Structure 1
Amino acid sequence: MGALLEETAPESADLAPGRHTAVTGEGDAADRSTVETWQKRFAELIIPCAVRPTRSGRFSANADVVVVGGVLVARYVLSPMKMDRGEDHRRATDDSLTFSVATAGKLRCTQGARTAEFGAGEAVLLSTRSANTLETTGGGFIGIKLPRALLASCAPAHADIDFCHIGAGNPALRSLLAYVDAVVRNEAEMPQVVAQLFARHMTDFIAATVGADRPAAEDDSRSARRAVRRAALQTAIDLHHADPDLGIERFAGIVGLSARTIQALFAEDETSFSDRLRETRLEKARQAIQRAGSHASIATIAFEVGFRDISTFNRAFRRAYDRTPGEMRAEGGWNH
């Protein structure tokens, strides 16, 4: 998995993994130099295309771009424009997919004889190996660019997909957007293993999103989608476990699911949200206690992983590992 992501990461040094990059353009729509400057930067960092404003007045194009585990995620706010990827913009070495989700305004996508017009809460999957056009009436959308090989690795039935319009109410799209929101809001450097998990789960959600509109795809069965969601919930716990106020209602708001749905998903693994959160915190604490060279106090570690008081932590730790935190540290040769 890591090798695949590393091989397919964007080549531009400006798009360092985990670092946010702004691609902005402001000016008069009639000023071709402003438009072309933004178009050039957009082509260098994201994807080659020809940009044409479709309305007179002010040209405004803003994209916040971040690469996570080899998957490029961008949040766009654009004035009315058309972005045309003709045959001359295609790269022989680029076999990727773009997944665009409207958040405000309307989008129209055309690829060959196929056209999709949609508004907020709908999406389209396009192929970079085909000429296509994306037109916006002005507003915002989320764009995700990922290697086709990555999607094919988790959903072989989608290996040759080139175009798919995803309608409103898709069951996996909301969870995907919650993941994307966590990515674009995160300004801190993301550890490689976490970044790869994010990339994998975003890809799984895209596969499930597409599969909901292609019910014959065996890989996108209901049980497979629920397994993806359970794995995604664990990744979200890994990211937010240190928050001492992380109850199920707060967590539900983070992942974009109801508390009832979360409990039902965990019940399929014969556990609960609170049990999984406690287990995650204890495991993070165990790793910190046994880490060579660590001199942090037991209390500091307990608070850092999300426990509110040391006595609760000590009791839970002993039940989980049949020894106290101090005894485990002593076994490793480290002092309190």
Structure 2
Amino acid sequence: MLRVDLEPEPGVVFEAHNRALMLPGLQLMEAQASPVRVSRNGRYLADGNDDVVIAINRAGSALIESAGRSHVLREGEAIILSGGEPTSFQRTREGRSFTLLVPRVAIEAAVVGIDDALMRPIPAEHGALKLLDNYASWLFNVGGSVDPQLLNLSIRHVQDLLALTIGPAADFADTVRARGLRAARLRLAKSFIVANSHRRDISITTVAAKLNVTPRYVQRLFEADGTTFSEFLTRLRLSRAHRLLCEPGSSQAAIATIAYDVGFGDLSYFNRRFRRQYGQTPREVRGDRAR
């Protein structure tokens, strides 16, 4: 299936855990293995696969050899490879990696010199690499539950971030940044808000500081998504309050306590927004649930 040779370290019990997600125009794979040498050469190269590959080393170190060059990939680093070149990936200790494969034709026009980028290591602190890893990991974990339209859009965003990580061509740089970077940053912003919505001190400023951008930039991200930071946060808190009001285990909790626990600081504002959102008061929702 992988079209590679696996050579476990002699004298060591071989153990590996692999998960893969195949999508149109994108393949994602998460791998963990004991010491092993993984090689793609000889008969495997005859399949004509020339995918652009970015291997992100998440734990341990690995010796990469391809195109007559070698590099020891440190933890957090990534490297650009080609499915059409003889390549070996050797670990002397257990390690983990996350690999993305994209058809060359899908990003060739958007990247300056893919061939020049092969075997070029990308440092762990590279901003575009971090966004690519985060966004692709999210897609890897939820890909099967995303509706087709959003899935196709997400695949394009990953391809854009990959092009941005390698180095976009001048004609495509603005397009790639607009689509890939903004999509990834919006998802990161929403994830941070979801995890911290209960905090009454969360603000657009704290989200901007988390993303290392300006508050106005964060506001524009939400505006482009058809909402605002405040509206997204409020609707999220209302949804959590509604869920708690419907849970039998919260039937004894005061409505004010639930409102404060989900992040509201003003009870009257909570009641007004809740009724506007659900067409019922919190007390009515709880009563319907009890009946």
| Both structures adopt the same fold (TM-score exceeding 0.5) | yes
Partner residue of 1:218? 170
Counterpart pick for 1:233 among 177, 180, 185: 185
Please list, as runs of the form range in 1=range in 2, the aligned pairs for 1:46-85 lying within 5 A after superposition. 47-85=2-40
CA RMSD, Structure 1 to Structure 2 (Å)? 4.4
Q: Distance in 1 between matches of 2:209 and 2:158?
A: 16
Q: Quick one: percent identity of the two aligned structures?
A: 18
Equivalent residue in structure 1 for 2:51, among 96, 116, 125: 96
Q: Structure 2 vs 1, CA of residues 121 and 166 (structure 1 numbering), >3 Å: closer, same or farther?
A: same
Contact 1:101-1:142 within 8 A present in 2 as well: yes
How far apart in 2 are the matches of 1:176 and 1:246? 28
CA contact (8 A) 1:103 1:120 kept: yes
TM value normalised by structure 2? 0.66
Contact 1:174–1:256 under 8 Å retained in 2: no
State whether structure 2 residue 102 is matched by structure 1 residue 146: yes
Q: Cα 1:242–1:162, aligned 2, differ >3 Å: closer, same or farther?
A: closer
Given residue 184 of structure 2, which amino acid in structure 1 is its aligned partner?
A
Q: 2:228 aligns with which of 275, 282, 285?
A: 275
Aligned with residue 312 of structure 1, among 242, 253, 273: 273
Note if contact 2:49-2:83 (Cα within 8 Å) is conserved in structure 1: yes
Does structure 1 retain, via aligned residues, the 8 Å contact 2:4–2:38? yes
Letter in 2 for 1:51: L
Within 5 Å, give how 1:105-184 maps onto structure 2. Answer: 105-137=60-92, 138-153=94-109, 155-158=110-113, 160=115, 163=118, 164-184=120-140
Q: 1:189 aligns with which of 145, 150, 159?
A: 145
Q: Residues 260, 100 of structure 1: CA spacing in aligned structure 2 closer, same or farther, 3 A cutoff?
A: closer
Q: Tell me: CA distance 1:63–1:252, structure 2 relative to 1, closer, same or farther (3 Å).
A: farther
2:254 corresponding residue in structure 1: none
8 Å CA contact 2:57–2:96 kept in 1: the answer is yes
* Counterpart AA for 1:121: G
CA positional deviation for 1:94: 1.9
**Counterpart residue number, 1:205:** 161
Distance in 1 (alpha carbons) for counterparts of 2:72 and 2:80: 13
Larger CA deviation: 224-233 vs 120-129 = 224-233
Q: Which secondary structure does the structure 2 equivalent of 1:52 belong to?
A: strand
Q: Unaligned 5+ residue runs, structure 2?
A: 236-241, 247-261, 265-269, 280-291
**1:206 Cα deviation from its structure 2 partner:** 1.5
* 2:227 is equivalent to residue 266 of structure 1: no
Amino acid at match of 1:185: N
1:100–1:123: 8 Å Cα contact kept in structure 2?
A: yes
CA distance in structure 2 between the partners assigned to 1:310 and 1:94 by the alignment: 59
TM-score in terms of structure 1 length: 0.59
Is the CA contact (8 Å cut-off) linking 1:108 and 1:115 kept in structure 2? Answer: yes
Deviations along 1:269-324, one digit per CA (max 9) or x if unpaired, are 69599815737999xxxxxxxxxxxxxxxx99xx9xx9x96842676x8xxxxxx9
Judged with a 3 Å threshold, the aligned counterparts in structure 2 of structure 1 residues 77 and 225 are, in CA distance, closer, same or farther, namely same
Change (3 A) 1:171 1:87: same
Secondary structure in 1 aligned to 2:228? Answer: helix
- Cα distance in 2 for partners of 1:312, 1:166 equals 47
Give the counterpart letter for 1:275 in structure 2.
T
Q: Which runs of 5+ in 1 are unaligned?
A: 1-43, 283-298, 318-323, 326-336
Residue aligning to 1:332: none
Q: Distance in 1 between matches of 2:137 and 2:26?
A: 14
Distance apart, 1:65 and its partner CA: 1.1
* Number of corresponding residues: 248
* Cα 1:270/1:312, change in 2 over 3 Å: closer
Q: Kindly name which structure, 1 or 2, has the bigger radius of gyration based on alpha carbons.
A: 2
Aligned partners of 1:156 and 1:219 also within 8 Å:
no
Determine the C-alpha separation between the residues in 2 that align with 1:65 and 1:204.
21
Contact 1:122–1:167 (Cα < 8 Å) also in 2: yes
- Quick check: which one's helix share is greater? 2
Name the CA shift for 1:70/1:133 in 2 (closer, same or farther; >3 Å). same
